[in-house]
Every structure is written in C-alpha cells, then in structure tokens.
Structure 1
Amino acid sequence: MLPDNIANQIAAGEVIQRPASAVKELLENAVDAGATEIQLFIKDAGKELVQVIDNGSGMSETDARMCFERHATSKIQSIDDLFHIRTMGFRGEALASIAAVSQVELKSRMHTEEIGTFIEIDNSFVKRQEPCQTAVGTSIAMKNLFFNVPARRNFLKSNAAEMRHIVDEFIRVALAFPHLQFSLNSNGQQMFHLEKGSLKQRVIAILGQHYNSKLVTVKESTDYMNINGFVGKPETAKKTRGDQFFFVNNRFIKSGYLHHAVMNAFAEMIPAENYPLYVLFIDLDPAHIDINVHPTKQEIKFDDEKILYAFVQSAIKHALAQFSVTPALDFELDPGIQQLDAVTQPFTEQKKAQSANTSIYKTFMHANQAHVIDQASNLRHWKDLYEGPPAPEKPTHAHTETASVIDERWQEAATDHKVPVQVHQQFILSQIKSGFILVDQRAAHERILYERYQRALAEKPMATQQSLFPQTLELLPADAIIISEMLPDLQALGYDLEPFGQHTFVVRGTPADIQTGNEQASIEGLLEQFKHFSNELKLSRREKLVRSMARNNAIPPGRSLDTREMQNIIDELFACSTPNVSPGGRFTFISFKLNDLERMFERGA
C-alpha cells in the first residue's frame, strides 16, 4: 500500500497543476467560509508563495487539523448532497493536495474562540501544531510549490505565463462574487483592489472603465432556469478572447457549446473572427447538472444542453433588440424567442421530434455542414477551378513539387511574363512548364512573413513606422502581462510600445508593412494568435511570437489582389528557404502536371 504522502502527491497531480490551481481552490474555500473580505498575496508568480487571508467563519482546532486529510470535508453529509451542490468546493481534495506538494502554514480562529490554531505542514506531515493569536477567519500560506517534486517544478512556465493564469483565476472568482471585497498583491505591489458592489461595478473595475456605457443587460427568468449578466455592444467585440465568462450557479465554466449560442446571437452584427464580451450567470436546479466530471470543476454536464442553448441565444437576442443595439428583429420567425416554449414547458417526445427540424439542431448535424466535401468524388480537388480561365497554350513559369529544383526552374522562367490569375479571391493560379500551380494566398504569405520575421529577430530589426497620433491601448491584466514579457522581441519586429500605467500601453509605431491606423487591431490580433499557440509546449516564446505575427498579418481569403501583388507573392514564396509549406505545415501550393490533365480529359485515348 502506498504511503499517505506519496498517494497525496499522485492525487495532487490532478488538482494542483500550477500555482493558479492553488489560487482557485484557496479563494473558493474562503468564499465557502462566508468571508466578506478576501486578500491574495503572491510571490515569484506563486512559486515561492500563495497566501489567502479571509475574515470568514474560521475553524476549530479539530477542523484545522482534519482539513488536510484526504476527502475530509464538512460540505457533503449524504450521497444526495452530491446532486444538490451549492458550495464551490466539496470533494475535500484541495488542501490535502496542496499540503502534499508544498510547505503550508495555517492560522485560523472562530469568532466564538479567543485564541486560534497554528499548523505547519511539510510534505503532508504535520511538523507543528499550537495555539496562536490571530484574527477571526483563516490565513493559509502555500510556500515553495513542488519543492519535493522537482520534475514537476521544472515544467512550470515563465513567471509572466504563470502570473497570467493566477490573474485569470482571481478574476473568475471575483466576478462571481461582486458583493465580496477582493485584493491581489504580487511581489509587494497591488494589482487589484475590488470593493464590494454590483455586478456591473465589478465588471467595469476588472475589464475597464471604457465599458461603462457599452454593456447591455441580459435578464430572463423561467421556471426551469434564470440568466442574468451583461453582453458588450457589438462595437466592443475584439479579435482576442479573454472577455468571455460563463457561470453556472456562480461557478465559472468552460463550454464551447454555450459560447456557440452567444456567437449565433451576435451573428451578422460582428465580424466572424471577432469575439463579443459577455459575463453571463445561469442559475438552475443543481439536480439538472453534474459538476463532478473534472478535477477543476470547470467542465460540467447538463441533462439537456439544447434547452440551455436555445435559452441563452434567445435571451441575448432579446436583450440586444430591447436596447436598440440591433436592427428590428422579427421575433415571430423564432418561436424560441417569442414564447421560450422549449424552456417553460416539458420537453416531450413530440417536441423532441419537432426540434429535429430546427436550425439549431441542423447546425450540428453532419449532413448539413456547409464545409463537408463530397468524399465520393474523385475530382473534388478540381471543383473550385471549373469556372477558371482556359489553360494557356504555352506554359512558361517553371516549377515542380520537388523543393531542390524550385529555384532553378523558377529562374529559368523569370524572363517570361505570363499573368497570374486569382481564383475565388483565395488562390493564385500560375502556369509552369509542366502544367500549372495553385497557390494558397494566405498560406504562402504566412510563409513569406514568417521567414521575414525570423530574420528580423536573428539579424536585423525591422523598420518601424511612427504613428502621427500615438494610441493608448488598454488591455486585460493577463494580456498586459503577455505584452510586457514580449516587449524586446516586439521592438525588434517593428513595434514601438511603452508601458503607460497599469494594464495600459502607448503605441507609438508599428511595423512598416502594417497599415497606419490599424495599430490596435494589429496588436489584438497578435495577442489572439499568441494565445492560440500557447498550448504548443514544444514551441519557444519567440517561435510562438513569430508564428503569431505571420498568421495575424497574412493576407486573408476573400481579399482581391492585383497582378503585381500576386506576382510578388509568387516570387517571394519561391525565394523562401522552405516554400512548400506554411509555418503550421499546410501546403502553400499544389502542382498540376500537363500530362495528368491530358489523361483526365482522355486526350491520350
């Protein structure tokens, strides 16, 4: 049988993955304790210290000792309690896991007691327990995370990256409980001080004062569930994620399904690649959900997701129309908005059959996906070209799919001047001696920019285009940390940025190839792409930055190109060291050989 301390370390691997995991658990315990003031102290991005001090109910001497035992919790008394959970924590794993991978000091006192309890734990073993003088409530300090598991400590990311995760967890808990006071101090500096107030005041305090007049209230109630909160007006939508929050029974959750419902509600009001702000709280009977499906409790199951989808989408559409944010909407076309029958009435077998014909249901059915290609057709690669221009009589540009002969054949054809053709504003068709090539304009431009930015970081910094009127850029706290960490590399890539107060930067210049006046969108897009690459653990920070810049600034599908722009893309692509694929591994072009075309049209028969 495993010793308790080793068993705890194994269990801790699921619960405490990084300092932010401990922050979440300790803040939620403070909320469950009935605290009205909660302070969070961080040192060295949580690697040296995570401390939470609250003025909650405190613990008796017995409870203070028992709380570090595995599955010791006072929040569950019977099996039925598992299906009616209203507290944030309930499994009794958090403190045992924290004590297994760090050095812990706890002080706690109940208001009925004159003296409190002090406990010191090291690697799950109690080193000291004694009475102490302390304020009512609990102070718990987690020091030297993973000191006894050095391999796991080595997997922690940079301080800036770990601090971003901590700020994310802090914001999620603070948004869920606006009636409580929260503060966050990092390395002796105060990052947040959030007074008690309304949800709107809390949203503005965290996300920025500029949202004060740009929030739309969402509020709908039925017998099955309630929803309240805010969405941002369409003009506040950004290219970066980060302003999206879903809470179910005050618990932050991640749900791509419900996010899709919000995006559908904003359809045709914001660009497809933008994300609206939303802070939405769904309240329903805990019997309808299962939150015990993931160690972090951020992923939950609903007994009927379709009802939630329709309810969320309808409530947001209703709110946007009510506040005259959108053009007049014909609610008669959508019975889900008009009467909310799917929510207010039982979901019978007859209604299930009816729902199969709705657009919501069809959207998620394979046969109705617009992007599904007819796999039975052997000629599917040629469908996009059937309206293209007829093949010229004499191919002149030379190229084959073999990288080693690309440059030789391309130079051989450089004296000819055949005009490339754009196909559906996505591809560039150009002749070569053996047939023709079809270039993906975005993938090709991404490869060109990627190698250009790599050279800028390794050899010569890029030119900066100074802005006539510098812009002030206010970011989310987590995004501000990302930008601060990347400032030296951003300057080498042509950005002229300076910190300007908390979470704010002044943009004085951008790379010369970025259109003037597009500074904010450029940086927001860069941030979004950087977050996209954040899960690629094998990539260095610089590599993520270069790939993000290339993807963000590449020519998008749907943009018309003139002849010179198309020729430049072709010429620059084949001057690259690796012209065949984009940085992400997609083909930049496909070769079509003349003899294959002749066979296809049975010319040889």
Structure 2
Amino acid sequence: MADIINLLPDNLANQIAAGEVIQRPASAVKELLENAVDAGATEIQLFIKDAGKELVQVIDNGSGMSDTDARMCFERHATSKIRSIDDLFHIRTMGFRGEALASIAAVSQVELKTRRAGDELGSFIEIDNSVIKRQEPCQAPFGTSIAMKNLFFNVPARRNFLKSNAAEMRHIVDEFIRVALAFPHLQFSLNSNGQQMFHLEKGSLKQRVVNILGQHYNAKLVTVRETTDYMNIHGFVGKPETAKKTRGDQFFFVNNRFIKSSYLNHAVMNAFSEMIPADSYPLYVLFIDLDPAHVDINVHPTKQEIKFDDERILYAFVQSAIKHALAQFSVTPALDFDLDPGIQQLDALTQPFTEQKKVQSANTSIYKTFTHANQAHVIDKSSNSNLQHWKELYGEPARPDNDHAPAPPETPLSTASVIDERWQEAATDHKVPVQVHQQYILSQIKSGFILIDQRAAHERILYERYQKALAEKPMATQQSLFPQTLELLPADALIVSEMLPDLQALGYDLEPFGQHTFVVRGTPADIQTGNEQASIEGLLEQFKHFSSELKLNRRERLVRSIARNNAIPPGKVLGSREMQNIIDELFACATPNVSPGGRFTFISFKLNDLEKMFERGM
C-alpha cells in the first residue's frame, strides 16, 4: 500500500500556524507595535483602515534592518532575541519567537520599508501569501514602516468570522492602549480612516494614564510603590469613589508585558474589600518587575497568560502593597449601615413626641445618666433600673428548663409589629401581596400561593417590553432637565456608537459630543432621573458580560443587558401597588415562568401540599 503521510506545503503550514497568532486585526496591531518597541523606537504611529481589514500600518523611528534581515524576518522562527535555551528563561523583550511577521505574511499582503541610520538606502519588500514578490533598494527615513493589507484575503472563510468594524476597532484600541500604557516614555499615535483617535506625547506614567483614561482621574489616583529583593511593584490605583460598574480600567503588567490574571485581580479586589460595592471594579494600572527566571511567558501564543513559580507570594505582595498605599493616602472606607426599612414605620418614628412622653422620658434613670453633668459613667444598680433588661435584650436568651417556662418578654424595638400588620392586611384582602425579606413577593392563589423572585420577574417583564420596542414601537423618552456629559473609555465609546440606533429605540436620547464623549439628553421613561450615567455604565457592563455568548446576536445581547441592568434589585422595598403591578405584568408575558437567562421567576405551593406538611387530616 502507498504511504499516506506527507509534509504540508510551506504556505499551508504557515496559514495554519498563523491562526494561533493572528486571530483578528488587533492581533497584528499588538505584534507590530511590540516589534517597534523592541527596535528601540521613540515615536510609533499606527494607521488603520476599515477596522484593520483593509490596512494595518505601523511606522517607527527605530533601528531599522539590513537587506538580509529585512528578508529573514518573514521566515518562521527567525529571531534575533534567542540564541540558546537559557535565553528563553531570561526574556526581557516583547517578542522572541519569530512567529509574528511570518504569520502576518501568510494571511495578508505585506509591504515593508526599512533603513538603518548609517545606511544611504533602505530596503523595500513586497510579500503576497508568504511569497516575496519584490525586493529592491529604496529611499526611506531611518526606522521601519510595515503595512499589512487585505487581511485573510487568501482565507475567506476566516475573514467571514471577523466581527463588525466597531467590534474589531474596539479590540484594536484595547491593544494600542495596553502597549501605550506600558511605555509612557515613547510617543504613540493612532489614526483610523484618516482621523486621529490618539496622540500621546512622551511623559510620566501618570500623564499617560490620565491622557488615555480621562482627565477626571488626575486628582483621583493613588500611587502604589513597594520594593523588595524578590520583586517590585509600582503604578496607580483609583480612589474608591472612581470604581465603576464596568470593567475596562484594570491593567496588570509583568516586566512591562500586559497580562490577564484573575488570580492577581482577586488580590486587588480583596485590597478594596469594604471600600467599594461588591459589583464595582476599581481602576488600577500596576507594573510588577521580577526576575524573568521566575516567570514563564511562553505558555500562550498571545503571551497574555503567563505562569509564576510562586503565585501565592505575588498575591500577598500585591494585596499588601495596595492596602499600604490606600492607608498612606488616608483612603478609608465609610461606614454604611443597612437600616431595616421596617424601623422607619415604628411608632417611635411615626408618632409625635408629646409633652407627656417627654416628662416620662426625663424621669428615667437612663436619661439622667446621660444628661446630668459628670454622671455619664454612673450606672444605677438598683432593681428599679431601666437597664436591667439590656442583657436580656442583646444577650443570648435563657433556655427554658421545661415546656411550662414563661415566654420571654417582647423586644421593644422589634419590627414584628410591622410584619404582623402586613400579614393582617393580607388576611383581610386575599389579593394584597406581601414582600418577604425585600427579595420575594408572596401572593395567594386559589390552589395555594406563589413565591415570586422580584428581580427575575421584573427582568422578564422588561425583556419582553424592550423586545417589543425594537420590533414595533419605540419606547417613550423622558428628557433630562440638565443633560449630562458622559465620558467613556475609547473601547466603550465604540460600543455605544455601534448600538446608538437601538438605544434610541429603547428610549435613550444620546448624542456624540467629541472624542469618546456623549451627551445624555434623555433616558427611558421607567428609569429614575439622575441615574443616567450609572444606568449606561451598568448597561455596558452587562453587554460585555453577554458578549461572550456567541449564540446571541448584538440586539439580543443589548435587550438582555438593559433588562438585567434596569431590573429592581434585591433589597428594594416595594409597596402593595408595585408588587401587584409586577404580578399582573409578569403573567401577561409570553413566557412568565423564567427570566431571559433561564432562572425561575416564581414557584407555586399547593394547598394540599401544605396540609400534608402540617399533618392536617392525618
């Protein structure tokens, strides 16, 4: 029988390998920018056309290349960074495997111009599908210009998998920002379709952070700096008040290389615990420097996932450094007492404090103890003291010796009376629903009762309402008396721009207002005024959450996002009419039993099941 194993042709092998490195235009942007940094450039320009599908070009003033090096750099595994296996464990450059340019040349048409400072002429190379079509001397400024044109022109199936221009541009901006933050001493610019999106002059790290993330952070950054023999950390965290509902302002760099690490992110979140709400995310731009021998960056083609020889040390170090920085700058959490809403309805707060009650209060020993001069330390030990029940009130109640033990006295500040009143009201009118723990709605039905999850139910109601608005009639908008200016991260601004027509159909009145900025003139009529910015930030966070679900199209993600973001949260006290409205609207839905995400909105309890539980009729 004939042999069946053959070597792949070089161009096909290159295309397969390119799939690991160049997944989208942003992948090429990352590799080309990092090559420019490795070349010692001080000025780096990025030009984009058609979200990188037509053109990605990087021009730098770095060291340039000789004729031979210009040709060799497109060969697979051709690199100037590694000579032996030991070099692999002491990497300090951004690139080292020699895959980037070979991968780019395998899936696009490439033009390269390069010249070293001491050479009279530079070199021009044209490559098409890994094949060098032309190489000749040329006039060129010192440095390198490399243009990647018509990405995936020879792999149309992969080109079809690219997202919309706005989505691909978001990825490009993300990669640009990561490299620009890592090297604030270099000048960077980004031009898209002839318009300049960024021009970042050389400066300090703080200047670079403020220029990229927004001028409003200028006075709200806390410096982090700790030095040890094992590792160093420096950078900034935002003060607690800058925490947002959306991710995006979180950057970790190890030896100037951007990384993704949920483990180290958890260390930061722990350092901010009790300072920010649980569903918020603090800003941080942190750089960790340590011996490359303790890090393995060669575990993923993008090099964004790396391994440490001891993650626990890093975790403790990061957490400690941030806590120390926040304490040093007197950033401490404010006490936030969660007041039971039932207390607001007690007689002590709702009834007038009459003259008779004033006299009665003034005659008590506790009043005298805290009002007579120099007597605050005196405690009346007599049996008539009003303090004798304090231990009973706040300590553990004594266990009765037998079933005939007397019942403990009623707690003066108990909210039981409030709850009893609600149950009595429900008993007199079977249609009045009752809220349980500010999370659930209990409503009686003929066969028993149902327990409704108020948030899941409201999410289902809003979801169907918004679906109808997009399909049929746009929702009403309530105009803001004082329009707000919303400044977003560049990537978030691209998301909003892409969704603008659908947002307007859902009741948002947004208008672009300069770079990365929008004016919010109105919001859907069912959203409380004054929460415009928080509403849109929460919507963005939910949209990013749903973006990982490939089965959902953009409109579906938007509708689910806005429904989840605007649904009433657990803990919100609802009146009888509000609860009844939720019940009526829920059962008017096409699918009332589950939320858009598939959670049950209610559970029913049958009367005969209750009778069995209480052993009635047995």
Q: TM-score, normalised by structure 1?
A: 0.85
Q: Which amino acid aligns with 2:453?
A: D
Following superposition of structure 1 onto structure 2, how do residues 113-512 of structure 1 map, counting pairs within 5 Å? 113-326=119-332, 417-512=430-525
The structure 2 residue matched to 1:557, chosen from 538, 562, 570, is 570
Distance 1:176 1:426, change over 3 A: same
SS in 2 for 1:536: coil
The match for 1:81 is 87
The structure 2 residue matched to 1:548, chosen from 550, 558, 561, is 561
Asked whether the 8 Å contact 1:253–1:298 carries over to 2, the reply is yes
Asked whether the 8 Å contact 1:321–1:327 carries over to 2, the reply is no
Asked whether the 8 Å contact 2:264–2:315 carries over to 1, the reply is yes
| Alpha-carbon offset, residue 589 of structure 1 | 1.2
SS in 2 for 1:529: helix
Partners of 2:617 and 2:107 in 1: CA distance: 73
The match for 2:60 is 54
Q: Which amino acid aligns with 1:509?
A: G
SS in 2 for 1:324: coil
SS in 1 for 2:162: coil
Partners of 2:548 and 2:99 in 1: CA distance: 26
Distance 1:77 1:239, change over 3 A: same
- The count of corresponding residues between Structure 1 and Structure 2 is 528
Asked whether the 8 Å contact 2:259–2:304 carries over to 1, the reply is yes
| Alpha-carbon offset, residue 602 of structure 1 | 4.3
Asked whether the 8 Å contact 2:18–2:104 carries over to 1, the reply is yes
1:162-213 CA deviation, whole Å, 9 max, x = no partner?
A: 0000000000000000000000000000000000000000001101111111
Partners of 1:77 and 1:231 in 2: CA distance: 39
| Alpha-carbon offset, residue 418 of structure 1 | 2.7
1:583 to 2:569 alignment: no
Partners of 1:328 and 1:187 in 2: CA distance: 47
SS in 1 for 2:65: coil
The structure 2 residue matched to 1:538, chosen from 551, 573, 577, is 551
SS in 1 for 2:266: helix
The match for 1:413 is none
Q: Which amino acid aligns with 1:55?
A: N
| Alpha-carbon offset, residue 282 of structure 1 | 0.6
The match for 1:72 is 78
| Alpha-carbon offset, residue 480 of structure 1 | 0.8
Partners of 1:582 and 1:288 in 2: CA distance: 47
| Alpha-carbon offset, residue 146 of structure 1 | 0.6
Q: Which amino acid aligns with 1:282?
A: I
Partners of 1:71 and 1:440 in 2: CA distance: 58
Asked whether the 8 Å contact 2:66–2:123 carries over to 1, the reply is yes
Asked whether the 8 Å contact 2:430–2:444 carries over to 1, the reply is no
1:567 to 2:580 alignment: yes
The structure 1 residue matched to 2:25, chosen from 19, 22, 27, is 19
The match for 2:47 is 41
Q: Which amino acid aligns with 1:465?
A: Q
1:469-509 CA deviation, whole Å, 9 max, x = no partner?
A: 11111111111111111111111111111111111111111
| Alpha-carbon offset, residue 57 of structure 1 | 0.8
The match for 2:375 is none
| Alpha-carbon offset, residue 604 of structure 1 | 5.9
| Alpha-carbon offset, residue 34 of structure 1 | 0.7
Partners of 2:70 and 2:617 in 1: CA distance: 87
SS in 1 for 2:449: strand
Q: Which amino acid aligns with 2:49?
A: K
Distance 1:157 1:389, change over 3 A: farther
Partners of 1:557 and 1:305 in 2: CA distance: 36
Partners of 2:602 and 2:301 in 1: CA distance: 44
Structure 2 residue runs without a partner (length 5+): 1-6, 336-418
| Alpha-carbon offset, residue 63 of structure 1 | 1.2
| Alpha-carbon offset, residue 593 of structure 1 | 2.3
Partners of 2:287 and 2:92 in 1: CA distance: 14
| Alpha-carbon offset, residue 515 of structure 1 | 0.8
Asked whether the 8 Å contact 1:321–1:328 carries over to 2, the reply is no
The match for 1:362 is none
| Alpha-carbon offset, residue 307 of structure 1 | 1.1
Q: Which amino acid aligns with 2:595?
A: S
The match for 2:360 is none
Partners of 1:138 and 1:57 in 2: CA distance: 8
Partners of 1:110 and 1:145 in 2: CA distance: 28
| Alpha-carbon offset, residue 322 of structure 1 | 0.7
Asked whether the 8 Å contact 2:274–2:333 carries over to 1, the reply is no
| Alpha-carbon offset, residue 137 of structure 1 | 1.0
1:342-370 CA deviation, whole Å, 9 max, x = no partner?
A: xxxxxxxxxxxxxxxxxxxxxxxxxxxxx
Asked whether the 8 Å contact 2:275–2:334 carries over to 1, the reply is no
| Alpha-carbon offset, residue 327 of structure 1 | 5.5
SS in 2 for 1:450: helix
Asked whether the 8 Å contact 2:35–2:95 carries over to 1, the reply is yes
Distance 1:327 1:547, change over 3 A: closer
1:322-355 CA deviation, whole Å, 9 max, x = no partner?
A: 11121699xxxxxxxxxxxxxxxxxxxxxxxxxx
Asked whether the 8 Å contact 1:5–1:123 carries over to 2, the reply is yes
Percent identity over the alignment is: 90
- Greater mean deviation of Cα atoms: 41-50 or 231-240: 231-240
The match for 1:597 is 610
| Alpha-carbon offset, residue 584 of structure 1 | 1.1
- Greater mean deviation of Cα atoms: 534-543 or 82-91: 534-543
Partners of 2:497 and 2:533 in 1: CA distance: 16
Q: Which has the larger radius of gyration?
A: 2
Structure 1 residue runs without a partner (length 5+): 330-387, 397-415
Asked whether the 8 Å contact 1:20–1:169 carries over to 2, the reply is yes
- Greater mean deviation of Cα atoms: 427-436 or 145-154: 427-436
SS in 1 for 2:45: strand
